[in-house]
Amino acid sequence: MKKNFFHISRIITGLIFIFSGLVKAIDPVGTQIKFSDYFEAMGLTFLMPYALILAFVLNAVELTVGLMLLFNTFSKFASWLGLLLMLVFTPLTLWLAITNSVTDCGCFGDAVKLTNWETFRKNIILLIFIFIIFFGKKKYGTSFSTRKTKIAISGFIIFALGFQFYNYCNLPVIDFRPFKEGTNIKEAVTIPPNAEKDVYETVLYYKNLKTGEKKAFNINNIPYEDTLNWAYDTTISKLIKKGYEPPIHDFFLSTLYGKDVTEDILNYKNLTCILIMPDFKEGIKKIKKYKKKLDDIAYYADYNHYPFYCFTSSETSVVEQYKNSLPEYIRVLAGDKKMLKTFIRSNPGFVLMKDAKILKKYHYSDIPDVNEIKKLNNPYYEK
């Protein structure tokens, strides 16, 4: 019976660790962003430059530990490492559940979204499984003793790091984010008429004029008539229940001088070419070797009266300094940095959109030629 508990715990924990590590390894930049959110919430902003390195390490460790547990390979070491991870993450997710400092823990990347309390409960169950594995490792586990085992562990680590590196140098092999290819952004930002709305509780604080005490009252029992004893102090609205939130809720674009052009973009029926550069200066450096392709695309877009935008979150002064490096037909617009990084995991990235629908996304090293764009714009096009 104990042996069965050990192996069931090992398999379940291994599969969860593999899934968690794998979906994050598909998008290491997403894990980097999540680390940055944690550092900001904890006041550890000095660690921001190391977020990407830590993302690679965490994803590789999770994936490797999961594989070791699943195949019962070097399970003694895996149980130690798994226990250490859970002893760190369980209190961390409890803190998140209580404070809600980061609304999405990111434990399963963008593939599966859990609330902070759901994540904490999941970690409690995993912690129980890890303890079963840890205390049964001597009797039922394996150790790092054979050449085959060493080769297997080395293979796990190389796969975990190599897979991440591939996804970092290209677009993720699977896009779990709301801006995936085929998404109609106009539909994705729309809130249905009958959608559930946010529910707030309004609390009013009044100050006792005799004692100086501040007391909370709800909207139905405020002492507004008792002006001899109470004076209004402040009002606080608390979110009681979150309503419907559209899959895309931060898609706003404006000119560099603040004019909102979001609706113009979403309502345009024909082809739209978009270059996305959250960091404008860095993006300009990377596209120099692809300038000829961009010039050709810009000429094609201008000739056919298709808009060609560059979305960035950099300051206007930075854009003005470097925008002459772009083809002259590209119009630069400003957008939220997080939204642009969610849109495409490449700086710069290239996107083709038609009638608000995302046709295709490209890493900057894979920017298409004009003939490919013509085929996407018109399936019946022949070169």
Residue 145 in any domain: the answer is yes
pLDDT of residue 139: 65
One domain for residues 306 and 352: yes
SS (H, E, C) 187-204: HHCCCCCCCCCCEEEEEE
Say how many CA atoms lie within 13 Å of 294 toward its Cβ. 26
Q: Please tell me which residue, 224 or 122, carries the higher pLDDT value.
A: 122
One domain for residues 228 and 310: no
pLDDT of residue 337: 92
One domain for residues 48 and 151: yes
Q: Which of 150, 152, 177, 159 is nearest to 70 (CA)?
A: 152
d(CA 309, CA 206): 52
Residue 231 in any domain: the answer is yes
Q: Do 153 and 14 meet the contact criterion of CB atoms below 8 Å apart?
A: no
One domain for residues 347 and 258: yes
Six-digit token string for 371: 């003939």
> 142 pLDDT band (50/70/90 cuts)?
low
One domain for residues 112 and 44: yes
Six-digit token string for 4: 């069965």
One domain for residues 117 and 265: no
d(CA 356, CA 242): 27
pLDDT of residue 204: 81
Identify the CATH number of the domain in which residue 363 sits: 3.40.30.10
Q: Which of 128, 119, 117 is nearest to 89 (CA)?
A: 119
Residue 208 in any domain: the answer is yes
d(CA 155, CA 149): 10
Angle of helix 2-25 relative to helix 116-140, nearest 10 degrees, comes to: 130
pLDDT of residue 1: 60
pLDDT of residue 366: 92
- Please determine, for residue 145, whether its predicted confidence score (pLDDT) is greater than 70: no
Which residue type, as a one-letter code, is found at position 377? Answer: N
pLDDT of residue 381: 57
One domain for residues 100 and 207: no
Q: Structure pTM? A: 0.81
Q: Please tell me which residue, 349 or 142, carries the higher pLDDT value.
A: 349
> 364 pLDDT band (50/70/90 cuts)?
very high
Last residue of a domain, one of 209, 241, 273: 241
pLDDT (mean) for 170-177: 92
One domain for residues 150 and 209: no
Q: In the chain, what percentage of residues exceed pLDDT 90?
A: 50
> 153 pLDDT band (50/70/90 cuts)?
confident
| Domains of the chain: total | 3
Q: Residue 317: give the domain boundaries.
A: 253-377
One domain for residues 203 and 273: no
236-to-40, 67, 216, 220, 350 alpha-carbon distances in Å: 25, 49, 10, 15, 44
Q: In the chain, what percentage of residues exceed pLDDT 70?
A: 96
d(CA 6, CA 135): 9
pLDDT (mean) for 373-379: 84
Q: Which of 256, 272, 260 is nearest to 312 (CA)?
A: 256
- Please determine, for residue 94, whether its predicted confidence score (pLDDT) is greater than 70: yes
Six-digit token string for 5: 């508990």
Residue 178 in any domain: the answer is no
One domain for residues 208 and 143: no
Cβ-count burial of 145 within 10 angstroms (0-12 exposed, 13-18 middle, 19+ buried)? Answer: exposed
Residue 382 in any domain: the answer is no
For the chain, the average pLDDT equals 88
pLDDT of residue 150: 76
One domain for residues 52 and 125: yes
Q: What is the pLDDT of residues 187-246, one digit of tens each?
A: 999 988 887 887 777 788 888 888 888 888 877 777 777 777 888 888 887 777 777 788
What is the edge-to-edge ordering of all strands in the sheet holding 271-277? 253-254, 331-335, 308-312, 271-277, 349-354, 357-363
